[in-house]
Amino acid sequence: MLARGLSHIDNDVLEEFPEFQEFKVRTRPLRDPAAAAEVPSAVAPGVEPTLTPDERIRNGNRALRANLASEVLERVLKASPGFFESLVVDLLVAMGYGGTQEDAASVVGRSGDGGIDGIIKQDRLGLENIYIQAKRWDRDRTVGRPEIHQFAGALQGQRARKGVFITTARFSQEALRFADGVQTTIILIDGQQLSQLMLDFGVGVSVQETIRLLKVDEDYFEEDA
């Protein structure tokens, strides 16, 4: 992390590490400060008391998800550039863009001009195009303002109103501020967000087991007076 030349290290930086997310789950503060007085003295201050079974399941799921997201990103980084282009297509189609897999694949992944890697439809009707920049870079690399400025210029050259910059790296604060300040809508997706989206939309992952949490149906047991 020090090699990145970061001006500071905050929670946003630490969030990319599964160990930090697991630490937050283990030492999550009490949701209601007023309830702190009710915690037995044997429980460490600021730490939740014994969790219920369903809370343990949810916390375990969060820890598993954090580890899986990190593993997925590592697999993406080890894949070929061509595979990454296909992954971007699969993810955008799964999110509802591009119309069909064939439509999306016909435009994303081509070598574009002026910093444009591809164009994809916003919806199945093709009412508007979204311009894509996809870069499989090392996760420790920081994408700065110059790269986003170049992408914004490419969008203006195409008279485009919307663009998405997807990378396995991370964005600097200057890059994020620049993207927020331009008139063109530019969405930045870094490696951490990419892996989370892959989990959310089932790209590169499969369901191993489904656990159903049941509770008593109060309506069923309600008797007429």
Query: 63-72 pLDDT, tens per residue?
Result: 999 999 999 9
Q: Are residues 47 and 17 in the same domain?
A: yes
Distance of CA 51 to the CA centre of its chain: 28
CA dist., res. 130 & res. 126, Å (int):
10
Whole-angstrom CA distances from 74 to 120, 169, 200 are 26, 11, 17
d(CA 164, CA 128): 14
pLDDT top residue among 13 and 84? 84
Domain that holds residue 18: 2-77
Closest CA to 189 of 219, 224, 165, 173: 165
Query: Among 126-130, 194-198, 201-205, where is mean pLDDT lowest?
Result: 126-130
Per the structure, the count of domains in the chain is: 2
Cα distance between residue 169 and residue 77, in whole Å: 10
Shared domain check, 87 and 172: yes
Q: What DSSP character marks residue 2? A: G
The residue whose two tokens read 């503060």 is 29
Both tokens of residue 160? 């485009």
Q: Are residues 102 and 196 in the same domain?
A: yes
In this structure, is residue 116 part of a structural domain?
Answer: yes
Summarize pLDDT for 97-154 with one digit per residue, the tens.
876 666 665 555 554 555 677 888 887 777 788 889 989 999 899 999 999 999 999 9
User: In the predicted model, is pLDDT for residue 35 greater than 60?
Assistant: no
Both tokens of 162, joined, read 């919307």
Looking at the structure, do residues 87 and 189 belong to the same domain, yes or no? yes
Question: Out of 20-34, 107-121, 176-190, which region has the weakest mean confidence (pLDDT)?
Answer: 20-34
